[in-house]
Amino acid sequence: MDSNVLAALMGVLAIVGVILLIWLVINIVSLWRIFTKAGEAGWKSIIPIYNSYVQYSITWNTKIFWVNIGLSIVSTIVSVIQNGNSSMILTLISTIISIASTVIFIIASHKLSKAFGHGVGFTVGLVLLNPIFMLILAFGSSEYEGIPD
């Protein structure tokens, strides 16, 4: 491999790494503030899977969190089985799981939006521009109103 290509590749990887680090910091800071607004300890935002569990507990239902975890596990198993296999049934199962996960994410975003007194427009922002709207939720004037109906 040419040294110029290798240098360019390393530069791109460095940029991607910095962007991912910034994304992670924004997510942790936003969740920390959102959790404290909801009466939870901010440190819970640092622990990877537990922070999602806490977010479901303040906005929706922890049973849905477990459903989402189950979907992730089944999705991983289907992906491993499907690797190298072009089964139509496995592709259909994978597609259904992806759609279900997306629907759960959108509903969870709406529940988070409603828990802080916002509506559908804010939900669209959370889905499409998540880091920005999480910062708005965290540092804006929004106050936690409890688990929505």
Question: Tens digit of pLDDT for each residue in 54-84?
Answer: 999 999 889 999 999 999 888 888 888 877 7
- C-alpha span between 122 and 98 (Å, rounded): 23
pTM for the whole structure = 0.82
pLDDT at 123 over 70: yes
pLDDT at 51: 93
Confidence of residue 121 (pLDDT cuts 50, 70, 90): very high
CA torsion angle 40 49 130 143 (round to 10) = -10
Furthest C-alpha separation in the chain: 59
pLDDT at 79: 80
